[in-house]
């Protein structure tokens, strides 16, 4: 192989096994097989404008057993990668597809043996995106050497890449495909790496150019699946940055490890640039959301529980420009808390498997580039207002939620243990619940743009509550953050090692396909430095953080949002306006607007993220313990609610309600967080936020 050869295409775009060899792709087909696929072919990106980004080629497989081989037609288009196995007569025997919706990204690289070199020069195949992991690796390495930051990468010279004479280029395609371990088991997502080896040219640069062509075609296809807000308008090939907020105290306190091991690798594979902040104290996230410029980010991801997400929503609603920000920033969650109601509800709503790998599913949701409008409920308390995305509770469930905090070390099991305890020591509460039944018309249409005209007009003005905020104080928060895009090339080594079975003698200069189906996922943690949060900058900064946090609480920030359509909390409600009342002794009231309150609590099966409805569930005093136990037991399957309301259990779809407890003590929670006890009223604001959803 002394000279480069031009690609040899037949005029109809097909290829012939006997023609002059062209490029080489080598692969072991998807995980079930160890076959090696080697094929001759012509890349025939056809000229039609509709399909100008499609690429295809003919390949052959060479089985590990000597002598047997198969011809494949491989195509990349809007549906993904399609592999058609052809018989010697040209008829299709078998077809496999790796769907575009399951593919997260790809990388071009060189062989394992030059891993270190390849790391430093991984940009050889990159698109020039300075945020891409490949480029950041290069950039770091260059910075170390000469302090210069390359603005663009180019294919490196052959000398730089000298590698035992192998001039192949590889394209690794990362996909997470739905699989079942057995007929009875649940679907789950499994990481699959398709490895394409390009070796038909006798120079690495030419092979890499070919690999890069497929890489770019794939990126183009992937970008077609993204909603506008996720794409950098100044460069259609780039994704916008993600802001990640991580609560190290959520759940059992392993958020950092979870992010490092399971989220960061997926973001890197998808070439999604992100900035990570680790929260230092309660209200850190809401301060950050309410005071920072957010236009650099397309979305905010909470790595934590529902409490952290609650802070993010409320921080956004403390911004004067909430109306501009909300439609342009999608919110996501990686479940690391103890309840995780929102993450479970999102997965449920989109039939995405949850239980086997909840964090992986959520990470894939974050990179999906899709979002949906989500209802937010404004809750008016005596002294302030709060925004809520999950639930408002009074009585039994709130008692369990808060009182079981002392059992935090048991993780999700704390709820079960305390439920049994509270059942044995049952409490009742007196009060009045007034509500406005929900209209079904004009609801669930979604988003600000989808709202009815009168509502839209209301949203154009905003009303503020409470004290004046000393914004300057909050803006003093240091502005440093850490770009955490990292390259993890060593994980590819395992896949490349599958390449040893290539039958070199079959054809030394023809395209071949190697789908190195690998369930091996070696994730390497990224640098510790990314965990420096704002308060880590210096002791001084830490002190100023503490000061800022305490002054933040003293001067509780004002909220913005659409004007309320409800009377003030101390004003009477008139039946003439449609208000209905339930009064007396209650075991609990729980108002919910997501399907799940926790991973195992399918509380409002009929709820939808954007139905403009609060699902109000009341349990009256006098219910027998067995009846209550059965209600609580069936919550996990969502079969606890009666078809028709009975004297003890009532399910009321409402658009607003008011709770007036007659006792002077008890627990009230909003999104699982305890708030001051007393009267409150709530109204739904249909679809005013955007939440990230699976593809």
**Applying CB under 6 A, which of residues 206, 269, 306, 683 lies at the interface with ligand ATP?**
306
Residues 6+ apart with CB under 8 A from 1: 167, 202, 508, 509
Residue 251 touching ligand ATP (CB under 6 A): yes
Residue found under tokens 């094929």: 39
**Applying CB under 6 A, which of residues 338, 564, 608, 610 lies at the interface with ligand ATP?**
338
Residue found under tokens 């404008």: 49
Taking the C-alpha atoms of residue 97 and residue 75, their distance in angstroms, rounded to an integer, is 9
Q: Which is nearer to ligand ATP, 126 or 250 (CB)?
A: 250
Residue 308 touching ligand ATP (CB under 6 A): yes
Residue pair 361/351 in contact by the 8 Å Cβ criterion: no
**Applying CB under 6 A, which of residues 124, 673, 681, 683 lies at the interface with ligand ATP?**
673
CB of 688 to ligand ATP, least distance (A): 21
How many Å separate Cα 505 from the centre of its chain? 45
Residue 361 touching ligand ATP (CB under 6 A): no
Residue 416 touching ligand ATP (CB under 6 A): no
**Interface pattern 264-283 for ligand ATP (x via CB under 6 A):** ---------------xxxx-
CB of 253 to ligand ATP, least distance (A): 9
Residues 6+ apart with CB under 8 A from 51: 77
Residues 6+ apart with CB under 8 A from 118: 109, 110, 111, 161, 489
**Residues constituting the chain:** 695
Q: Which is nearer to ligand ATP, 226 or 285 (CB)?
A: 285
Got the DSSP string for 346-407? HHHHTT---SS-HHHHHHHHHHS--EEEEEEEEEE-SS-EEEESSEEEEEHHHHHHHHGGGG
**Applying CB under 6 A, which of residues 240, 249, 414, 690 lies at the interface with ligand ATP?**
249
**Applying CB under 6 A, which of residues 105, 304, 395, 661 lies at the interface with ligand ATP?**
304
Residue pair 198/210 in contact by the 8 Å Cβ criterion: yes
Residue 41 touching ligand ATP (CB under 6 A): no
Taking the C-alpha atoms of residue 59 and residue 514, their distance in angstroms, rounded to an integer, is 10
Taking the C-alpha atoms of residue 581 and residue 102, their distance in angstroms, rounded to an integer, is 49
Residue 284 touching ligand ATP (CB under 6 A): yes
Q: Which is nearer to ligand ATP, 41 or 307 (CB)?
A: 307
CB of 236 to ligand ATP, least distance (A): 35
**Interface pattern 643-672 for ligand ATP (x via CB under 6 A):** -----------------------------x
Residue pair 381/676 in contact by the 8 Å Cβ criterion: yes
Of 136-144, 246-254, 368-376, 484-492, the segment contacting ligand ATP by CB under 6 A is 246-254
The size of the interface with ligand ATP (CB under 6 A), counted in residues, is: 22
Taking the C-alpha atoms of residue 256 and residue 260, their distance in angstroms, rounded to an integer, is 6
Give the closest residue to 303 by CA, choosing from 363, 347, 348, 345.
Answer: 363
CB of 411 to ligand ATP, least distance (A): 9
Residue pair 187/180 in contact by the 8 Å Cβ criterion: yes
Residue 141 touching ligand ATP (CB under 6 A): no
**Applying CB under 6 A, which of residues 340, 372, 455, 512 lies at the interface with ligand ATP?**
340
Other C-beta atoms lying within 10 Å of the C-beta of residue 200: 29
**Applying CB under 6 A, which of residues 139, 207, 250, 515 lies at the interface with ligand ATP?**
250
Residue 51 touching ligand ATP (CB under 6 A): no
CB of 544 to ligand ATP, least distance (A): 16
Residue pair 417/408 in contact by the 8 Å Cβ criterion: no
Residue 332 touching ligand ATP (CB under 6 A): no
Q: Which is nearer to ligand ATP, 69 or 533 (CB)?
A: 533
Residue 105 touching ligand ATP (CB under 6 A): no
Residue 305 touching ligand ATP (CB under 6 A): yes
Would you state the structure tokens that stand for residue 644, as one six-digit string?
Answer: 């028709």
Give the closest residue to 112 by CA, choosing from 432, 516, 611, 545.
Answer: 516
**Applying CB under 6 A, which of residues 102, 311, 375, 399 lies at the interface with ligand ATP?**
311
| Helix H or strand E segment including 95 | strand 92-99
Residue pair 115/522 in contact by the 8 Å Cβ criterion: no
Q: Which is nearer to ligand ATP, 270 or 400 (CB)?
A: 400
Residue 545 touching ligand ATP (CB under 6 A): no
Of 163-171, 244-252, 426-434, 617-625, the segment contacting ligand ATP by CB under 6 A is 244-252
Contact residues toward ligand ATP (CB under 6 A) are 247-251, 279-282, 284, 304-308, 311, 337-340, 672-673
């Amino acid at each position: 192989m002394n000279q480069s050869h031009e690609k040899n295409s037949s005029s109809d775009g097909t290829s012939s096994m006997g023609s002059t060899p062209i490029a080489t792709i080598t692969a072991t087909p998807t995980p079930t097989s160890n076959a090696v696929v080697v094929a001759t072919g012509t890349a025939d990106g056809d000229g039609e404008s509709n399909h100008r980004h499609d690429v295809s080629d003919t390949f052959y497989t060479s089985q590990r057993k000597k002598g047997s081989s198969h011809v494949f037609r491989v195509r990349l288009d809007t549906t993904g990668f399609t592999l058609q196995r052809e018989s010697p007569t040209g008829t299709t025997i078998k077809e496999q597809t790796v769907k575009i919706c399951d593919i997260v990204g790809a990388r071009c690289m060189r062989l394992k043996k030059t891993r270190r070199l390849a790391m430093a020069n991984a940009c050889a195949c990159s698109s020039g995106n300075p945020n891409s992991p490949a480029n950041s690796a290069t950039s770091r390495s260059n910075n170390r050497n000469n302090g210069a930051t390359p603005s663009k990468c180019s294919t490196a010279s052959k000398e730089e890449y000298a590698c035992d004479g192998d001039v192949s280029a590889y394209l690794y395609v990362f996909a997470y495909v739905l699989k079942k371990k057995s007929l009875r088991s649940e679907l789950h997502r499994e990481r699959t790496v398709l490895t394409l080896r390009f070796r038909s040219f006798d120079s690495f640069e030419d092979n890499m150019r070919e690999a890069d062509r497929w890489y770019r075609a794939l990126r183009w296809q992937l970008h077609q699946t993204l909603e506008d807000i996720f794409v950098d308008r100044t460069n259609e090939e780039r994704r916008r940055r993600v802001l990640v907020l991580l609560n190290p105290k959520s759940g059992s306190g392993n958020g950092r490890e979870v992010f490092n091991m399971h989220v960061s690798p997926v973001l890197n594979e998808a070439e999604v640039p992100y900035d990570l902040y680790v929260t230092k104290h309660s209200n850190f996230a809401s301060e950050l959301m309410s005071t920072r410029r957010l236009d650099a980010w397309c979305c905010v991801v909470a790595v934590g529980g529902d409490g952290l997400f609650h802070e993010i929503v409320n921080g956004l609603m403390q911004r004067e420009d909430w109306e501009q920000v909300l439609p342009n920033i999608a919110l996501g969650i990686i479940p690391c808390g103890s309840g995780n109601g929102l993450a479970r509800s999102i997965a449920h709503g989109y039939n995405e498997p949850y239980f086997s790998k909840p964090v992986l599913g959520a990470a894939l949701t974050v990179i999906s580039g899709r979002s949906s409008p989500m209802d937010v409920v404004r809750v008016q308390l005596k002294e302030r207002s709060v925004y809520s995305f999950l639930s408002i509770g009074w009585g039994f469930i709130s008692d369990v939620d808060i009182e079981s905090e002392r059992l935090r070390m048991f993780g999700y099991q704390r709820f079960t243990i305390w439920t049994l305890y509270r059942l044995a020591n049952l409490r009742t509460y007196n009060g009045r619940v007034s509500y406005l039944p929900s209209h079904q018309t004009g609801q669930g249409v979604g988003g600000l743009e989808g709202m009815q005209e009168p509502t839209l007009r209301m949203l154009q003005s905003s009303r503020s509550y409470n004290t004046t905020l000393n914004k300057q104080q909050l803006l003093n928060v240091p502005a440093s953050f850490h770009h955490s895009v990292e390259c993890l090339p060593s994980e590819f080594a395992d896949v490349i090692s599958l390449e040893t079975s290539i039958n070199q003698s079959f054809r030394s200069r023809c395209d071949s396909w190697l789908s190195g189906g690998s369930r091996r996922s070696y994730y390497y943690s990224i640098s510790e430095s990314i965990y420096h949060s704002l308060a880590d900058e210096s002791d001084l900064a830490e002190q100023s953080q503490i000061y800022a946090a305490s002054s933040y609480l003293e001067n509780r920030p004002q909220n913005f949002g659409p004007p309320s359509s409800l009377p003030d909390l101390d004003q009477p409600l008139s039946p003439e306006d449609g208000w209905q009342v339930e009064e007396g002794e209650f075991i609990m009231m729980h108002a919910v607007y997501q399907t799940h309150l926790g991973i195992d609590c399918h509380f409002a099966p009929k709820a939808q993220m954007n139905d403009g409805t609060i699902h109000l569930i009341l349990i009256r005093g006098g219910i027998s313990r067995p009846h209550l136990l059965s209600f609580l037991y069936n919550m996990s399957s969502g079969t606890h609610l009666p078809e028709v309301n009975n004297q003890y259990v009532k399910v009321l779809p409402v658009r607003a309600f008011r709770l007036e407890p007659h006792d002077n003590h008890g627990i009230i929670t909003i999104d699982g967080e305890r708030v001051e006890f007393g009267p409150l009223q709530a109204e739904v604001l249909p679809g005013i936020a955007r939440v990230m959803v699976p593809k």
